[in-house]
Amino acid sequence: MKLGRNVGARPLWAVFLVMAMVMAACTGTTTDTTGGGADTTTDGGEAPATTGGEPSDTTAPPTGGVTNPETFVHAADDEPTSLDPAQVEAGEGGETVILQVYDRLVEFTPDGPDLIPGIATEVPSTDNGGISEDGTVYTFTIREGVVDHEGNPVDATDVKYSWDRALTMDLPESNVGLLADTVASTEAPDASTFVVTLTQPNAAFLNSVVTQSVASIMSEEFVEANGGVEAGTPNEVIATNPVGTGPYVFEAWNRGENMLFTVNESYWGTPANLDLRIEIVPDPDVRVLGVRAGDYDTIETDPSFVGDIEGAEGVTVFQGEFLLEPIHIGFNLNYPVDQLPPEDTVPADFFYDPLIRRAFNHAFDYEAFVNGALGGFGAPTPFYLPQGVLGYSEDLPVYSQDLAMAEQLFRDAGVWDEGFTVSVIAEGGNLFEIAALVLKDSLEGLNPNFTVNVLALAEAQFDEAHASDPVPYALWVKNADPFADPHAFQSEYMDPEGNWGQVHGMANGYQDPETISSMIDEASVITDPAEREAIYHELSAMFYDDPMWIIAGNEVAVMAYRDWVQGFVMNPLWPRPSLKFALFDKG
Amino acid sequence: MAVDADVRAPAAPLAGALGTRLRRFGELTREVLRNPTTMIGLALIVGMIGMAIFAPLLIEPNTPNPYQMPRDWGALNEPPGTPGHILGTTQQGGDVLYGVIWGARTSLRLSLIVVSITVVIGLIVGSLAGFLGGKIDEFLMRLVDIFLSIPELIFALAIAAVLGPSFGNIILALAAVFWVKYARIIRGQVIHIKQNEYVDAARVIGDSSLRIYSKDVLPNSITPVVVQATLDMGNVVLIGATLSFIGLAEAGLAEWGVLVSQGQAGISAGRWWASTFPGLMVFVWALAFNLVGDGLRDILDPRTETKR
Amino acid sequence: MQIRDYVLRRMMVLPILIIGTSLIVFTLTRVGGSPIGIYLSHEMTPEEVAEVEQRYGLDEPLPVQYLTWAGGMLTGDWGWSGVAAAPVRQVFPDKLGATMELAVAAGIVAVALGIGLGTYGGARRDRLPDHLTRVFSISGAAMPIFWFGILLLIVFWVGLGWAPIGRSDADIFQSIAHPTGLYTVDAVLAGSWNALVDAIWHLILPAIALGFGTTAIITRMMRSSLVETMGEEYVDAARAKGLPEKLVLRRHARRNALIPTVTVIGLSFGFLLQGTVVVEIIFRWPGLGRWMADAVLRGDQATIMAYVMFTSVLFLLVNLVVDVMYAYLDRRVVLGA
Amino acid sequence: MTFASAPEPAVDTAGTVASVVGLRVHFESKAGRVHAVDGVDFDIRDGETLGLVGETGCGKTVTARSFLRLVPMPPGVHAGGSIYFRPHVRCSNCSGLGCDVCAGTGRLPVACGECAGGGCPHCDDTGFETIDLSRIPERQLREIRGDRIAMIFQDPAKALNPALTVRSQIAEVFSQHRSDEVLELAGLGTSRNPLLRRHVSQTTRLFERWLLALPPMRSQRRRIEQVIDGMVAAALAETQIPNPAKVMQRYPHELSGGMKQRAMIAQALACNPDLLIADEPTTALDVTVQARIIELIKQLQVRHESAVLYISHDLSLVRRVCDRVAVMYAGRIVEIGPTEEIFANPLHPYTRGLIAAIPSRAHDRGQLVAIKGTVPELIDPPPSCRFVQRCSYAVSICGEIDPELASGPGRHAAACFIHNPPEDAAELPSFSRVTT
């Protein structure tokens, strides 16, 4: 369970802006937008033996020969929970599969935010008349002769059916909100025309909705033949046995082992070069060993073990952009004291006091987290403008560890002498737990009277606590949902009237909540980037003095792959569903 | 066969006077001293418990909570021999040596708490079943059977999983699993004693059940319970470590199982130390108590007694 | 005949035990934990959470929930596994196959080795071989499987690069049909030498890791019960007939010593089962055990419940069979009570 | 003279089948060395029944087991002495069925290997082959066990293997000692097939057993089984077990105590041994059965004319069964001689005590006379009469010197100063005066 697991909805409107910023922003880590990554290859020692499915019997690392020349092998880090576009959680393992098996009307280019046609013959625009003047009606022309893996023809009616299906099922865990929030109605006047009417103009509709897995297209015949559509109930067949029109045909899912795909020879586009096998390998060390031994061509990579891969013979570590999902620790200003863990001593209004929140921010050992846990592939981040988002600037104030200051603040807040005990929850066994531990060490090292209990919960238990309102814990660690637009971050994480603003009762803490939310709203409607930026910078400064989070660090996207992988390209913005295996070849 | 008559050591009468029991224990100690493996076990136990008790002297305790690993974020994955980290560090910069030493303390705490709890529960349940008999006995024993019908580890795993990952919950889980054996032992003893005529005699004299209990049942139950408890001191740590290895202990706890599972992630990169040393400790701990428990059983078990 | 009544009596008790177990399991998962946590994600509004709860019938009163669940277990609807993203029942057979293959392999090794060593040691009572086997059996009982397994990996996987991990080479595995779900058996049926080698090659290490403890237990039991039988009069009687020591040992001592050992073999089956959890984690063996572990870590209650129920019922049945076998083997056992 | 050979004059011409000479068997125990058997001498003559009586723990069982080296060592230690045994062979004329050549015994004596019957020290001038059971190698001993010397154990329930049928247990004896005969009778005497031979002697391997189950050899195997069945049935029939063919398929626990012991006896006599050792064969049985078993043993002994060493603590029983009696006390023979003489005129105070203890009309209202005191500790005993603490006639000398077994009046011998006083003795014990 590494980063990007539960990353939330991805309204990617204004991705182009982002890309612009990306290029502008010269952050700590290098970029190569054309090649899509700064490559580092070095020679390394003998790799241990491993085997096909798992690291294999071939003792020597395959220097010359390519292992599994016919199959591309990717080692994913966890088992999908559903393969149904209408059910999959955003950022979940299932999206990786859906991206390969299903098509959407339009797609992203493999390495960036530009759009290319999918099932639709061209990307609609006001120029080609695909988008109505008022920007609410989108018309797509559907390809001729597209068939799904079962041979069922797919045309406009199926497109309509697919979207309507997601909307009807309306599964809470799914990402269907994207459609529901934007789409007013769908029609298929004829077999080759699909028309969508939006509730309101939305410039980012194509990027943030049509390209998303929830908008994937399947054939009506197949669905109807396999349980059809039932509101509020998942379709087990589709969830475990996807049949789409994509470049890969889903063959088998050996739970806990791997998922097998074959080339869709009758693909409307250029068919894939190799068959595909996605190995399910939660243990990092097995993935590392696998890629070093050449049994995996690409592996789900985590900064914390890049060190183990670098220097391995025949392996390249792709180093991409910052993920737009900083790991942060939330101050809860709204917890019910009686529901806190019994050992906690903090009063209800503990975090109301900005001094304490600032003290926490100054106490946190950013060095330890970024260089230790993230292996240097990360950087601290201003509130709440991650690197790569409009408005980010190196000049923005960022917290760094300052124990003297922290002590002073704690003294001023009057909690230094008697101290306190507080619990922080995190999902066990991953970077979140480590961030929590760093916080613990930082504070306890600062003053023996401070006690921070780290509760590393099972995913299910964390999710339940995290989904409840109010959250029954004073502190929790998680990664932010990746948004492309500053407003999303601001409203989600900073606005006292926003989602977390309300859950965390930020109004209790801010000196002047109204001003803040009004400023955030104001910035959202301004179209001139420069002006927006100005406001965000102002906000960021205010947030620095009155922080609602500790941003432990923002992580850089890394991906290790064998040198023999030809045409490796990765869309740097999103770590997970961004590899298009169909484009890859080996040798 | 005639020979045995001469060779056999006189078995202590079931509930003889204190004197005979003392003599019995005298014999026991002599037996223990005679048996090399048991001696080794004893030595190991002494060493382990010594380490647990003197942990604060052996290595600077971590503040505020010494049962938490001290983490040196500047020195992750250091190999053994690193200055300040003789046994190396974990991927979280935890000092393996510290974990090894304080793990002993954690384990001692765990095993003592669990064993004492389970013995008490077993004592109560077993005695109730044995004395009251009838329906209650039937019910309690069925309960025992049910508990026995789920493999130890799996049961503990399920419980700990439901309670959520923490050391306290591991204790609860183990306690819930381990009391059963004692209940059986005690019940068996009670029923056995109840059938013995001298208890009837005692009844005739008008002895209260309570006195019979304290005078006859308890003293005679001691032996098997002691053996079981000794073995469990080891098994509890073994299963406890397994649970925390699977991931049911709280984060950063200075516990052997936790360290092994942390170390596991690094073995492919050749970082063998983080899991090897703590695991070794679990083994030694369990081995020590098994050796002694085994020795005791051989000595105390009347069947083997005649053969020795 | 006596034994039949005995079996019948045992049969009668079985349901009680199973129901009791199911009650415990059910209460466990309802007392604590979050039956649906696995299905939640943190963007959900409380309404959506309620929706999910209702989907899984958690708004019903507990007794109803129990009955639904128990009924489901009986009728084959074992719930939806969040971890495997499939109905528990659908995934179960494959996993069961993998686990059984491992457990049986380990079991066979353990029984053969255990009886052999036990006999060897017991026959040479209080001499060096005996002490060695004794030390072996005790250290085996004290060996933490998770550590032993990791040591094996460090040495044979990382260090020497001899042994693989996992259950199979994916390509070879796919190359044959799997009617039985037991890779080795399927390989034989398919007549694929290649696959058979692959299967056994992958099986060795985990089987050793899993079988070690059990071997120790059986060795210990075999040893002590052999020592016991060697003291029996009929062994002397056999000698008095002029039988060579070998025959005395084989026909008279060992045969009778095996009888009590059988019960231990039965019990050690449970030991094997619970061992698979750890071994499968370490060796990436795609079986029930690892599934259970994942389920535990991610709070996938349906899987946990199904697994615990299944194992305990299996465990009960095995022990029933063993007891009956025991009754048959040793005609003198006083049946009843 | 030493009493290596029987002390009494050679009135009767019968040869001695076995003679125990200075046998010492000790046991290492935590407390020290237990002198369970400490210098025992006696002979067993062909065809006679010698009773060995004494209290529990006096060492009679150990003595008996020493014949077949069944005393566990360790803790047992063979501390000295020998057991000479003169084996016979089956009469070549009648192959054991009994004819005039072998005087119906079915056995013929073997001439001494050294002197070819002339008589030499090796065979103690008997001219018969003589072997020392306490020294011969294991495999030679095995040939004697169950074939020339057989043993009936105290408790058949314990001595029969619960996991094997009576048939297969008795069959073992034939497999060991009669394999050739079995093959003969099965008409396979000429067969060189090693498999069949190994099958008969039960040394087959697992896969060989499979082979034997296959058609070519199956029939032959069957025939062998049938032959063995026949022999077993015959053996059982001898012990008057009703329809043996059925009984032999039973497991021991399915038989009554008496039946078990009969099976035991059948097993013992199966090979028509020269010497039969009966270790309290009836004590484990209930009284009603005892008499019949004893009767049976006597009959069979008469028929087979094999010698019997009858161990018992029950004098009255010994009186009925035995020709001669050896009284054992604390690891020593204190008195030995013909039964009637012993009972008529017991020489040793201990024997007197025993006889007095037998409930009989002699004592009015069946009151029992018990010997005072208990058997002394046998750990490193002092060099004195073992009986001295309990002896009512003991005098100082009894506590200083150890009386040796010497022939007294009549044809029997005792170890007591009352009958063979040492030359220089201040006062002598005698039955007339009782010291207090």
**Which of these ranges, A216-225, D135-144, D408-417, has the smallest mean pLDDT?**
D408-417
For residues A245-256, average pLDDT: 90
**Residue D256, in any domain of the structure:** no
Under DSSP, is residue B177 helix (H, G, I), strand (E, B) or coil?
helix
C301-329 vs C62-75: helix crossing angle, rounded to 10: 60
For residues D186-200, average pLDDT: 73
CATH number for D131: 3.40.50.300
pLDDT of B139 higher than 50? yes
Question: Please, are residues A277 and A72 in contact by the beta-carbon 8 Å criterion?
Answer: yes
pLDDT of A207 higher than 80? no
Residues D46-98 pLDDT 10s: 888 888 888 877 888 888 888 888 887 777 888 888 888 877 777 666 666 66
Q: Both D152 and D179 in a single domain?
A: no
The 10 Å Cβ neighbour count of residue A515 is 13
B36-53 vs B273-300: helix crossing angle, rounded to 10: 130
Residues D343-360 pLDDT 10s: 888 878 788 777 777 766
What structural domains and CATH numbers belong to chain B? 86-307 (1.10.3720.10)
Q: Both D289 and D142 in a single domain?
A: yes
Is C85 in contact with A239 (Cβ distance < 8 A)? yes
Residue B199 to residue B216: CA distance in whole angstroms: 8
| Domain range enclosing D231 | 165-250
Report chain C residues whose CB lies below 8 A from the CB of B139: none
Question: Please, are residues A68 and A549 in contact by the beta-carbon 8 Å criterion?
Answer: no
Q: What is the pTM of this model?
A: 0.78
Residues B54-79 pLDDT 10s: 989 988 888 778 888 888 888 888 88
Q: What is the pLDDT of residue A195?
A: 94
**Residue D398, in any domain of the structure:** no
User: Assign residue D28 a region: left if phi > 0, alpha if psi is -120 to 50, beta otherwise?
Assistant: beta
**Which of these ranges, A71-85, A160-174, B121-135, C50-64, has the smallest mean pLDDT?**
C50-64
For residues D409-431, average pLDDT: 71
Q: CB-side exposure of D11: number of CA atoms within 13 Å?
A: 7
Q: Both D149 and D32 in a single domain?
A: yes
Domain boundary among D315, D338, D361: D338
Q: What is the pLDDT of residue D214?
A: 75
Higher local confidence (pLDDT), A75 or D420: A75
Q: Both D280 and D211 in a single domain?
A: no
Q: Tell me what the pLDDT averaged over chain D comes to.
A: 76
Q: Both D131 and D193 in a single domain?
A: no
Instruction: Give the pLDDT band of residue D386 (cuts 50, 70, 90).
Output: confident
Q: Both D147 and D35 in a single domain?
A: yes
pLDDT of C335 higher than 50? no
Question: Please, are residues D161 and C252 in contact by the beta-carbon 8 Å criterion?
Answer: yes
Report chain D residues whose CB lies below 8 A from the CB of C233: 153-155, 158-159
Q: Do chains A and D touch (3 or more CB pairs under 8 A)?
A: no
Read off the tokens for D299.
Answer: 């009959």
Is A285 in contact with B247 (Cβ distance < 8 A)? no
Is C251 in contact with D164 (Cβ distance < 8 A)? yes
Instruction: Give the pLDDT band of residue D22 (cuts 50, 70, 90).
Output: confident
Q: What is the pLDDT of residue B12?
A: 40
Q: What is the pLDDT of residue B283?
A: 95
Domain boundary among D306, D323, D338: D338
Residues D29-39 pLDDT 10s: 777 778 888 88
Read off the tokens for A559.
Answer: 């991906």
Q: Tell me what the pLDDT averaged over chain C comes to.
A: 83
Q: What is the pLDDT of residue B11?
A: 41
pLDDT of C102 higher than 90? yes
For residues D325-330, average pLDDT: 85
Query: One-letter amino acid identity for B23?
Result: R
Q: What is the pLDDT of residue A137?
A: 92
pLDDT of A461 higher than 70? yes
Q: How many CB pairs under 8 A join A and C?
A: 172
Name the domain count of chain D. 2
Q: Is the peptide bond before D74 cis (omega within 30 degrees of 0)?
A: yes
Report chain A residues whose CB lies below 8 A from the CB of B264: 283, 285
For residues A375-396, average pLDDT: 86
Closest by Cα among B264, B266, B268, B270 to B247: B264
**Residue D236, in any domain of the structure:** yes
Q: What is the pLDDT of residue B44?
A: 94
Report chain A residues whose CB lies below 8 A from the CB of B265: 283-285, 305
Higher local confidence (pLDDT), C3 or A257: A257
Residue A83 to residue A97: CA distance in whole angstroms: 7
Q: What is the pLDDT of residue A56?
A: 41
Burial of B206 (0-12, 13-18, 19+ CB in 10 A): exposed
Work out the percent of chain C whose per-residue pLDDT is above 90. Answer: 16
The 10 Å Cβ neighbour count of residue D12 is 12
Q: What is the pLDDT of residue B6?
A: 36
Establish if C251 touches chain D: CB-CB under 8 angstroms: yes
Q: List chains touching C (3+ CB pairs under 8 A).
A: A, B, D
Highest mean pLDDT among A124-128, A466-470, D268-272: A124-128
The 10 Å Cβ neighbour count of residue B265 is 22
Domain boundary among D293, D309, D338: D338
**Nearest CA to CA, how far is D58 from chain B (Å)?**
8
Q: Both D122 and D146 in a single domain?
A: yes
Q: What is the pLDDT of residue D329?
A: 84
Highest mean pLDDT among A37-41, A119-123, A322-326, C74-78: A119-123
Establish if A430 touches chain C: CB-CB under 8 angstroms: no
Report chain C residues whose CB lies below 8 A from the CB of B159: 28
Nearest CB to B71; choose among A284, A441, A461: A441
pLDDT of A41 higher than 80? no
Residues A492-529 pLDDT 10s: 899 998 888 988 999 999 988 999 999 988 887 777 77
Is C134 in contact with B37 (Cβ distance < 8 A)? yes
Read off the tokens for A231.
Answer: 């509101």
Q: What is the pLDDT of residue B284?
A: 95
Q: Both D241 and D279 in a single domain?
A: no
Instruction: Give the pLDDT band of residue A29 (cuts 50, 70, 90).
Output: very low
pLDDT of D402 higher than 90? no
Q: What is the pLDDT of residue A327?
A: 92
Report chain A residues whose CB lies below 8 A from the CB of C102: none
Q: What is the pLDDT of residue A12?
A: 37
pLDDT of C216 higher than 60? yes
Q: Both D73 and D108 in a single domain?
A: yes
Instruction: Give the pLDDT band of residue D436 (cuts 50, 70, 90).
Output: very low
Residues A529-542 pLDDT 10s: 788 888 999 999 99
E-only strand ranges, D313-432: 324-329, 332-338, 406-407, 413-414
pLDDT of C86 higher than 60? yes
Higher local confidence (pLDDT), A13 or C159: C159
Question: Please, are residues B182 and B225 in contact by the beta-carbon 8 Å criterion?
Answer: yes
Q: CB-side exposure of A145: number of CA atoms within 13 Å?
A: 4
**Residue D402, in any domain of the structure:** no
pLDDT of D5 higher than 50? no
Residues B161-198 pLDDT 10s: 888 778 888 999 999 999 998 998 888 888 877 776 66
**Nearest CA to CA, how far is D188 from chain C (Å)?**
23
Instruction: Give the pLDDT band of residue D425 (cuts 50, 70, 90).
Output: low
Is C21 in contact with B149 (Cβ distance < 8 A)? yes
Q: Both D37 and D172 in a single domain?
A: no
Is C234 in contact with D162 (Cβ distance < 8 A)? yes
Work out the percent of chain A whose per-residue pLDDT is above 70. Answer: 87
- Nearest residue of chain A to residue C46 (CA atoms): A468
Is C233 in contact with D155 (Cβ distance < 8 A)? yes
- Nearest residue of chain C to residue D279 (CA atoms): C237
Query: One-letter amino acid identity for B266?
Result: G
DSSP D405: P
For residues A557-567, average pLDDT: 88
Residues D276-314 pLDDT 10s: 888 888 777 777 788 888 888 888 888 777 888 888 888
> Containing H/E element for A507?
none
Residues in chain A: 587
**Residue D379, in any domain of the structure:** no
Report chain B residues whose CB lies below 8 A from the CB of A450: 64
Closest by Cα among D414, D352, D377, D78 to D386: D377
Report chain D residues whose CB lies below 8 A from the CB of C240: 68, 70, 145-146, 150-151, 153
Report chain B residues whose CB lies below 8 A from the CB of C135: 37
Nearest CB to C41; choose among A6, A57, A254: A6
What is the SS3 assignment for chain C?
CHHHHHHHHHHHHHHHHHHHHHHHHHHHHHHCCCCCHHHCCCCCCHHHHHHHHHHCCCCCCHHHHHHHHHHHHHHCCCCEECCCCEEHHHHHHHHHHHHHHHHHHHHHHHHHHHHHHHHHHHHCCCCHHHHHHHHHHHHHHHCCHHHHHHHHHHHHHHHCCCCCCCCCCHHHHHHCCCCCCCHHHHHHHHCCHHHHHHHHHHHHHHHHHHHHHHHHHHHHHHHHHHHHHHCCHHHHHHHHCCCCHHHHHHHHHHHHHHHHHHHHHHHHHHHHHHHHHHHHHHHCCCCHHHHHHHHHHHCCHHHHHHHHHHHHHHHHHHHHHHHHHHHHHCCCCCCCC
Under DSSP, is residue D325 helix (H, G, I), strand (E, B) or coil?
strand
Return the CA Rg of chain D: 24
Largest CA distance in chain A: 75
pLDDT of C12 higher than 60? yes
Q: Tell me what the pLDDT averaged over chain A comes to.
A: 82
Q: What is the pLDDT of residue D162?
A: 80
- Would you tell me which residues 227-256 of chain B have a C-beta closer than 8 angstroms to some C-beta of chain C? 234, 238, 241-242, 245-248
Q: Both D148 and D29 in a single domain?
A: yes
**Residue D44, in any domain of the structure:** yes
For residues C18-45, average pLDDT: 73
**Residue D377, in any domain of the structure:** no
Nearest CB to C242; choose among D143, D164, D253: D143
For residues C294-305, average pLDDT: 84
**Which of these ranges, A132-136, A247-251, D180-184, has the smallest mean pLDDT?**
D180-184
Sequence-distant (≥ 6) Cβ neighbours of residue D337 within 8 angstroms: D8, D324, D325, D410, D411, D412, D413
Q: What is the pLDDT of residue B305?
A: 38
Is C308 in contact with B143 (Cβ distance < 8 A)? no
What is the ipTM metric for this complex? 0.75
pLDDT of D101 higher than 80? no
Name the interface residues of D facing C (CB cutoff 8 Å). 65, 68, 70, 139, 142-147, 150-151, 153-155, 158-164, 172-173, 176-177, 202-203, 251, 253-254, 267
The 10 Å Cβ neighbour count of residue D80 is 15
**Which of these ranges, A28-42, B110-124, D101-115, has the smallest mean pLDDT?**
A28-42
pLDDT of C224 higher than 50? yes
Report chain A residues whose CB lies below 8 A from the CB of B65: 444, 451
**Residue D37, in any domain of the structure:** yes
For residues D104-111, average pLDDT: 70
Is C243 in contact with D172 (Cβ distance < 8 A)? yes
Instruction: Give the pLDDT band of residue C43 (cuts 50, 70, 90).
Output: low
**Nearest CA to CA, how far is A512 from chain C (Å)?**
27
Is B165 in contact with A283 (Cβ distance < 8 A)? no
Nearest CB to D146; choose among C242, C246, C252: C242
- Would you tell me which residues 2-61 of chain B have a C-beta closer than 8 angstroms to some C-beta of chain D? 2-3, 5-7, 9
Is A283 in contact with C284 (Cβ distance < 8 A)? yes
Q: Both D109 and D138 in a single domain?
A: yes
Question: Please, are residues B304 and A323 in contact by the beta-carbon 8 Å criterion?
Answer: no
